[in-house]
Chains A and B, each alone.
Chain A
Amino acid sequence: MSKFRKKQNSELPAISTASLPDIVFMLLFFFMVATVMREDTLKIENNLPIADQTEKLDKKNLVMNIYAGKPSSRYAKNVGTQAKVQLNDKFADVKDIKSFILAERDAHREGEIPFLITALKVDGDTNMGLVGDIKKELREVQALKINYTTRQGNATDNRK
């Protein structure tokens, strides 16, 4: 009887939180492994268009990124709202693309140069005029392998 009463009176045992760090560490390791640090700080809006016939860019060190789009709201005061090109961390002119490509080529070994790909990360709302100008510059500097970077999805959603 006394045994029975004792059980009734006892409080709920506290839930052990000893395994909490383990769970958190597990999550932590997942994010540490999955994280890709962004190389460039984006100063433009970069809402990429959607496509489904895409290929994966495997070798990240062989990719040169050219960003384009409308400047983000906090830069709009200084540089206006017209779509701009961004190279590395700075706004740039279309004319700067040539020297950018040449500098990138200098940074790579000679054997790697034919495999360099230019990834155009252009905002979906950008006019094709700017993209055409970028492509013309790339052609002149013989950077002919390009990749229109997109999000995965149904291409017809682009028109919404």
Chain B
Amino acid sequence: MARRLAPEVNAGSMADIAFLLLIFFLVSTTIETDYGISRKLPPPENQEDKTFIKEKNLFQIEINQANRLFVEKKPIDLKELRAAAIAFLDNGGGDKEDSCSYCRGLKEATSSDNPTKAVISLINSRETSYATYVAVQNELVAAYTELRNREAIRLYNVSFIQMKEYVKDVNYSGDKLLLREQIHKILSMYPDQLSEAALNEEQSLNI
């Protein structure tokens, strides 16, 4: 009587089934990239064309059709662009109301007055490759981030990148409102000012 147990189910094929599913998911998996450089486009009205920008407050970057880089008409290597952009933004050569108390640049008269006045102009040809354009954008973002990090560490003892991560972090223990205010303060010290006006001019000629 005790011998009559239910026969054991053969589980040997379970591995096969699991393998089948595993292979399906392996094949269908795509590691989706959702990282990127976030940018804000200027609104459609061409108001910026009317505003007057002093020559010395303008940092002209040009990428030609052969993907060569020119800063203020002089050829430059991509690796040097970040340092050049930082030197320009952080110059702080202005006086009186244009003076910049936190800048640590060379204070040259020929470069920008104040980071809030400094505008980076990026001009590219229609034949420029997108990869080069993104590389240049990347270096410009890096330049801003480096300056913002420096100021954030000086003022609040935490890097700007870290502050931005804290804002997104649900488990952050500190005061988020204060944090947002601090981020805003840093952003107003080094605001993003990128103009791609020439591209639009060129486009309007094409149409």
Interface of chain A, main secondary structure: mixed
**Contact code string B193-205 (vs A, CB < 8 Å = 1, else 0):** 0000001101100
B134 contacts which of A34, A51, A132, A138 (Cβ < 8 Å)? A51
The closest CB in chain A to the CB of B19 belongs to A24
- B35 contacts A127, CB within 8 Å? no
- B residues near A124, Cβ cutoff 8 Å: 129-131, 134
**Contact code string A142-153 (vs B, CB < 8 Å = 1, else 0):** 111111111110
- A51 contacts B138, CB within 8 Å? yes
Measured CB to CB, the closest approach of chain B to A139, in angstroms, equals 5
Bound CA span A52–B63, Å: 20
- A residues near B168, Cβ cutoff 8 Å: 58
- B33 contacts A150, CB within 8 Å? yes
Bound CA span A151–B34, Å: 9
Measured CB to CB, the closest approach of chain A to B22, in angstroms, equals 4
**Which chain A residues numbered 10 to 32 have a C-beta less than 8 Å away from chain B?**
17-18, 20-21, 24-25, 27-28, 31-32
**A6 interface residue, CB < 8 Å from B?**
no
**Which chain A residues numbered 123 to 160 have a C-beta less than 8 Å away from chain B?**
123-129, 131-133, 135-136, 138-140, 142-152, 155-156, 158-159
Give the total of B residues in contact with A, Cβ under 8 Å: 54
- A residues near B202, Cβ cutoff 8 Å: 132
**A117 interface residue, CB < 8 Å from B?**
yes
**Which residues of B line the A interface, CB within 8 A?**
11-12, 14-15, 18-19, 21-22, 25-26, 28-44, 63, 67, 78-79, 124-135, 137-139, 141-142, 145, 168, 199-200, 202-203
Some 25 contacts from A to B, beta carbons below 8 A apart, are A21-B14, A24-B22, A31-B26, A37-B28, A50-B134, A51-B138, A54-B35, A57-B34, A123-B130, A127-B129, A128-B63, A128-B126, A128-B129, A128-B130, A128-B133, A142-B44, A143-B41, A144-B41, A146-B40, A147-B36, A148-B36, A149-B33, A150-B36, A155-B134, A158-B135
